């Protein structure tokens, strides 16, 4: 086994993989092919050549990442991880966002993958998960309506009005349901009503 020189990942392969194990993500953050490290889970299978010992920085990053899973690093299989039935898996966006927050040096292509995933995520409607472009548009318009005294007393009516506004002003944006909009603005709408700013 070797240490000191590590093969680069096949990025044309890894950029197509929707989720990575934390082991894989950490290796990729160091521009190392995860499949070439001697502690990769696949090395228990026939035909996988064990070639490289992970560098100390890999172990330090891996330990920190594993300790953060479920707290500041979101896993896609959180329930299975909690039951200790599976190794944590993360999306490129979740991992890159988390690692950037720690100022980890990473290959440029990894930043690009995270940005591409973020762009894709921005087309979501605002359903549970990462807030989407439509959600931000609606929230901004809702705040504007409150500031200008245009908010409707009924939560359902306000949600319908916001949806109609979205369809008219941003016809290409993904459309959430009125119910989703209600859920997103409910707390702020209640605060607005409690403040006595009703028309």
Q: What is the pLDDT of residues 66-108, one digit of tens each?
A: 999 888 888 887 665 565 667 889 988 889 989 988 999 999 8
pLDDT at site 131 = 40
**Residues constituting the chain:** 199
- Give residue 53's pLDDT band: very low, low, confident or very high (50, 70, 90): confident
How far from the centroid of its chain's Cα atoms is residue 190's Cα?
Answer: 29
Alpha helices in the chain (DSSP H): 11-14, 22-29, 56-68, 78-82, 92-101, 108-121, 133-147, 155-169, 178-194
Whether 5 has a pLDDT exceeding 70, the answer reads: yes
Q: Name the pTM for this structure.
A: 0.54
Cβ–Cβ < 8 Å for 115, 121: no
Mean pLDDT of 55-60: 92
pLDDT at site 93 = 86
68: exposed, middle or buried (C-beta count within 10 Å: 0-12, 13-18, 19+)?
A: middle
Whether 123 has a pLDDT exceeding 70, the answer reads: no
pLDDT at site 122 = 46
Percent of the chain's residues with pLDDT above 90 = 33
Cβ–Cβ < 8 Å for 95, 20: yes
pLDDT at site 78 = 66
Domain ranges of the chain: 11-121, 133-194
- List pLDDT tens digits, range 16-47: 898 999 999 999 999 999 988 866 554 444 33
Whether 130 has a pLDDT exceeding 50, the answer reads: no
């Amino acid at each position: 086994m070797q240490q000191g020189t590590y093969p680069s990942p096949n990025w044309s392969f890894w950029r197509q993989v929707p989720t990575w194990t934390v082991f894989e993500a950490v290796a990729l953050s160091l521009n190392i092919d995860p499949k070439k490290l001697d502690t990769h889970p696949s090395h228990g299978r026939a035909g996988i050549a064990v070639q490289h010992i992970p560098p100390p920085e890999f172990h330090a990053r891996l330990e920190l990442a594993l300790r953060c899973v479920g707290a500041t690093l979101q896993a896609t299989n959180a329930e299975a991880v909690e039951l200790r039935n599976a190794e944590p898996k993360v999306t490129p966006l979740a991992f890159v966002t988390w690692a950037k927050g720690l100022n980890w040096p990473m290959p440029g292509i990894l930043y690009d993958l995270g940005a591409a995933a973020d762009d894709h995520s921005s087309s979501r409607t605002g359903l549970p998960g990462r807030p989407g472009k439509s959600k931000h548009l609606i929230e901004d318009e809702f705040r504007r309506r409150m500031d200008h005294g245009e908010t409707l007393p009924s939560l359902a009516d306000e949600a319908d009005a916001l949806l109609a506004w979205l369809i008219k002003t941003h016809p290409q944006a993904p459309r959430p349901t009125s119910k989703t909009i209600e859920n997103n603005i409910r707390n702020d709408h209640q605060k607005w009503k409690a403040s006595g700013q009703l028309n």
